[in-house]
Amino acid sequence: MIRESESPAVRAVREQVASLHAELVRYGLVVWTGGNVSGRVPAEDLFVIKPSGVGYEELAPENMILCTLDGEVVPGSQGSERSPSSDTAAHAFVYRSMPEVGGVVHTHSTYATAWAARGEPIPCVITAMADEFGGEIPVGPFALIGDDSIGRGIVATLSGHHSRAVLMQNHGVFTIGSNARDAVKAAVMAEDVARTVHIARQGGPLVPIPQKAVDSLFDRYQNVYGQNPEGSLT
């Protein structure tokens, strides 16, 4: 049970972040306990993230971890007896540096991570990729887990870039979004385009989309398509 002393905003983000982890499993983006979702608490300098090393089937709103934007667990909060994800410092750095970001996701999804293992950006050669990412999915620098080095690499790579996904070299995929759900969508789409472009390249040279067309597709998808477009973070 979630403590009544927590604000409605915190409780809502706990519910959302806990439930969204099931989407990572549903789309085959994670194995065992790897990967994580976090969500910023609106109007509060806090975010919610998955606990470290806990199976996806055990995740629930009450065992999500509430952290400050410095990556510190809020003392006495629900779930504070557990350790947060080993990627907490990276998520925290992104939230501190990019106030427009409301959600962060990390996976080691197979095809996207294969591109990361080569240190190779995914080129924008299909319209779905232009729609979602506005160009290639870039590669961020190699960085070790444990401090904010990964977060620094994410921010440096994505700042000024349309893409909401970054392939951290030799590691995996991080995505950002206006909220946690939006970041999960970006993770799902990153793996989908990584797989499609990988398969396409096996058949021969890839055909790039002209940048003018990429820009037009991105603008339409982000600002016109659908019933309630969420819009770009950039």
Active site residues: 131, 225
CA torsion, points 152, 154, 160, 162, in degrees to nearest 10? -170
